Structure 1
């Protein structure tokens, strides 16, 4: 199916996928709580395992609340691709102009495919990126993903279709196209 790059393409979170992720987070929180309480065998009170259990409980309950909230608020756009640029509500408060995107690649980490948008250093400094995008940059670089990492886990679209749409927009409006 041809992709119309003159139109804005919007990707919404899939309610079913969010519900599945929320259920998974709740199950992980329950296991972590069992380790933190300590209800599991071989978890000694005051041990590192108990601390990790409490930490996991906080982490996974936070993920459960986030996914549950996103499921309740409905079909809010998560990603928009337009002639102006790329916007991911999880990564930036503003649109990342295509002229700031240097390269797009697919990164596979533990059977999870992620779209990596390598942006210029000026964009890293100038755009209102989310704290998480800034905080995880060096860790992502050390694992081979140098750029903004976009996961498609919560969408009702295949990775290949999403990746092709992003690449098509980049080819039409990217930095190489904006220079004379």
Structure 2
């Protein structure tokens, strides 16, 4: 991949990859349903798995529904990287300028890799973030993620390519390219 840090690159959401990810909730919905019917209950137990089944259906059904709604409302969502900085509408509608990015690192958890962006505290305090993103950021922080997570799952770019583009742009525009 040839990188020109003076141009703005746009990595669009892949509808096929997103639908594939969303389809992963279907087996868990089926398992949850089966738990509620008592198929897996031991003889003599009276619906002990029912609550677990309901929780499974609510959790994975909610995730699937949230993903479908998000896909329907923003099918053209993209990660943009340019001379101005990085714009990922999952984090904020505005740009994250290179001058306010204080750290770039990679964080791995349970087989998934994330690009972590640390922002200047003053800039971050004024950053408009959705309530859903704040909730995900809190959950990520509870498992050890420090900063803002960028993950290209469901987008038309590999993690390796996204990481190399971000580091090249960071170097070209004066942001710390820390690994």
Change (3 A) 1:44 1:137: farther
Does structure 1 retain, via aligned residues, the 8 Å contact 2:91–2:133?
yes
Question: Matched residues in 1 for 2:176 and 2:23: separation?
Answer: 43
Change (3 A) 1:29 1:123: farther
Question: Matched residues in 1 for 2:38 and 2:169: separation?
Answer: 52
Shift of 1:24: 0.5
Does structure 2 retain, via aligned residues, the 8 Å contact 1:10–1:77?
no
Question: Matched residues in 2 for 1:54 and 1:120: separation?
Answer: 42
Q: More displaced, 97-106 or 56-65?
A: 56-65
- In structure 1, the residue corresponding to 2:154 is in which secondary structure? coil
User: How many residues in Structure 1 have an aligned counterpart in Structure 2?
Assistant: 175
Shift of 1:58: 2.0
What residue is the counterpart of 1:15 in the other structure? 15
Does structure 1 retain, via aligned residues, the 8 Å contact 2:84–2:97?
yes
- In structure 2, the residue corresponding to 1:18 is in which secondary structure? helix
Shift of 1:76: 0.4
Change (3 A) 1:133 1:121: farther
- In structure 2, the residue corresponding to 1:161 is in which secondary structure? helix
Change (3 A) 1:44 1:127: farther
Question: Matched residues in 1 for 2:143 and 2:73: separation?
Answer: 34
Q: More displaced, 168-177 or 65-74?
A: 65-74
Question: Matched residues in 1 for 2:10 and 2:36: separation?
Answer: 41
Q: Note if 1:2 corresponds to 2:2.
A: yes
- In structure 2, the residue corresponding to 1:108 is in which secondary structure? strand
Shift of 1:148: 0.3
- In structure 2, the residue corresponding to 1:114 is in which secondary structure? strand
- In structure 1, the residue corresponding to 2:104 is in which secondary structure? strand
Change (3 A) 1:37 1:101: farther
- In structure 2, the residue corresponding to 1:11 is in which secondary structure? strand
Question: Matched residues in 1 for 2:3 and 2:130: separation?
Answer: 29
Change (3 A) 1:150 1:37: farther
- In structure 2, the residue corresponding to 1:157 is in which secondary structure? coil
Change (3 A) 1:172 1:37: farther
What residue is the counterpart of 1:64 in the other structure? 64
What residue is the counterpart of 1:119 in the other structure? 119
Using structure 2 for the length normalisation, give the TM-score. Answer: 0.82
What residue is the counterpart of 1:26 in the other structure? 26
